[in-house]
Amino acid sequence: MRRGIKNLKFRIKITLIFGIMFMIISFLGGTWYYQYMAGNLQESLKNSGEEVVWQLYDTVDSRIEAVNNRVHAMLINNSFAVTLANYLVQPDEGRVAVTMGMIADFLKNLELGEQVIHSVYIYTEEGCFDDFSLLRNWEFDFQSSVFYQKFQKEYTTKHWFYAMEDSIFQTNDMVVPCVWRFRVVGYTKDCYLVVQYRKSELDSILEGKEHFFDEVMMVDEDGHKIAGTGDFDLRILSEKMQMSEEEEVFSDTFENDGKRYLAVACRMPESEWTIWCLKSQESMFDDLRNIRRMTIGIAGGLCLLCLAVTWFLARHLTDALSRLAQRMNCVTNGDLEARFFYPYRDEVGSLAKSFNYMIGEMKRLIESQERTIEELREERDRVAEIQKQKRKAELKALQAQINPHFLYNTLNAITWQAADQGAGEIARLSNLLGRFFRLSLRKGAETVTLREEAEHAKSYLDIQTLRYRSKIRYEIDLPEETREVVVIKLILQPLVENSIYHGIKEKQGEGLIRIRAEKKSSEGQEILKLSVWDNGIGMEEEKTAMINAGLRAGITDRKEGYGIYNVNERILLYYGKEYGLQYESEPGMWTKAVITIPFCKKIKEEEEG
């Protein structure tokens, strides 16, 4: 298996290495992201649940408080108190109808003030009162009801009761009674005001938050259900969740029948009710499961894309070596016209130059040999000397024939040695070169985004960093608002190259290059300032002035610093004469190149077409 791996082509090895690395990174990153999102989602749901419960509490409490205020206002109303007291102190059958009518008006006003009120009823030992809107249940006896018995056990002024079927009126509706005990001036016995709340209205309030929770319930202090949308066993809640008296809002998770739930509770001090909201963990994590599936899909797609891109880059980078090997085979077969043309100055370019030189030398030597032989035929009197020269020429020719084999074998040895040793440096250099050339070969487009242009300059800097090691350090600062600005391509790399070869290369110690972008306004127009700063040897004031004068004049035929003049000329042609490149410098300290162009995020129509 090991031999089989070593026999794989170089491009396949590069693809496998990058593919395995990307899959490991994707797996670890996806696992971490999922765990992070799970914890974050649970905490977010917990906080959101507490906020929802507070809203429920505020809504229910405000409705109850409104009823309380109206009840208190009625009980302290002088007309109500006098009317009721006059009748109770001196009951008179002749005034019963009048008193009932006036009390009914007060009760009707109380009931109409809040939709949550189902019905209102007043009990006294001298008679009972209501607003005549409902048919009373004449079999109802207040003194034998749970209302009266509750007040006999606990001497308080107010009691809440659990949800029950209406026993005072013939409606069969589910109501939540609240009973006040009060007295009127001049009458020494207790009177009772029963306000029955509509359970359906309380259910409707709770149902408004059912989209967030699975179940929403309101429970009294004895564990009886007041209202709600769920049918969860309240005994399980009391067993699983312990809420202290000091806590107003309580949230925690518990497990029941193999399912986990998030429970959020809020205590209502005025009614001594508790609002319970439940959400199952399964429904909580539906969105997270969708995120997980989407993450896996994206990671898989990116992995395939990475493999395809890596295969393309590996093929692109090793294609030159394959073509060079083919040309060597041609020479081995006797084709001395074979040449290998490679336009770049990297390692392959050096091999191509040596190969072409050796083939030229070989051809020259062979031609020289042929001329020597012809001369020997013409000058037979110098046969001995000619034979000697012939042997020398043949020796040289044989040596020249060995060189292509040597170069070919040496190239293969370099390839295998790099593969055996992990090819880390070669792989990194290959990746950087691919990224560097990607912009230059991009379908002939003249413009790119500033982000892409900066990536191109960064690739070049990374290559130079490999070459100079610790001598070069760089920083790139692109504010978010500038990254998608459209610029003509290949305007930063020549400036960076100029900084390295004319500034940092001659400097003792570590060199620093900074690339920055700034959005500014000039005469009501937004412009983009791009600067390339280095801490190299700097320039004298006269030289700086001379370069800036040449840039303003649009000089392009200077041998020294041709790249910067080329950049400036392209800026002038593309954007106009009001834009361009200028230099600033302090001798022995630093040099800064500043490009000024329009701040534009749209490509010209003619370029888009």
Name 161's Cβ contacts closer than 8 Å, sequence gap at least 6: 146, 147, 150, 176, 177, 178, 179, 220
Q: What is the pLDDT of residues 356-366, one digit of tens each?
A: 888 888 778 88
Task: Give the β-pairing of 191-198 and 174-182.
Answer: antiparallel
pTM score above 0.85: no
Closest by CA to 541, choosing from 472, 488, 588, is: 588
Model confidence band, residue 426 (pLDDT cutoffs 50, 70, 90): low
Helix (H) or strand (E) holding 24: helix 10-75
What pLDDT does 393 receive? 43
DSSP 136: B
Q: What is the pLDDT of residues 14-40, one digit of tens each?
A: 777 777 777 787 777 767 776 776 667
What pLDDT does 423 receive? 58
What pLDDT does 280 receive? 76
Q: Is 603 helix (H, G, I), strand (E, B) or coil?
A: coil
Domain formed by 442-604, architecture: 2-Layer Sandwich (3.30)
Domain formed by 76-201, architecture: 2-Layer Sandwich (3.30)
CA 33, CA 295: separation in Å to the nearest integer? 9
What pLDDT does 180 receive? 93
pLDDT above 80: residue 252: no
Q: Is 219 helix (H, G, I), strand (E, B) or coil?
A: strand
Q: Which is more confident, 556 or 591?
A: 591
DSSP string, 397-441: HHHHHHHHHHHHHHHHHHHHHHHHTT-HHHHHHHHHHHHHHHHHT
CB–CB of 23/310 below 8 Å?
no
Q: What is the pLDDT of residues 233-250, one digit of tens each?
A: 666 666 656 666 666 677
Q: Which is more confident, 53 or 210?
A: 53
Closest by CA to 230, choosing from 250, 209, 255, 244, is: 209
Q: What is the pLDDT of residues 67-85, one digit of tens each?
A: 999 999 999 999 999 989 9
CA 265, CA 234: separation in Å to the nearest integer? 13
What pLDDT does 121 receive? 95
Compute how many other C-beta atoms are within 10 angstroms of the C-beta atom of residue 241.
16
Chain mean pLDDT for the chain:
79
Q: What is the pLDDT of residues 428-461, one digit of tens each?
A: 555 555 555 555 555 456 789 999 999 989 988 9
First to last CA, the chain: 53
**% pLDDT > 90, the chain:** 24
CA 565, CA 510: separation in Å to the nearest integer? 27
Q: What is the pLDDT of residues 88-112, one digit of tens each?
A: 888 877 778 888 889 999 999 988 8
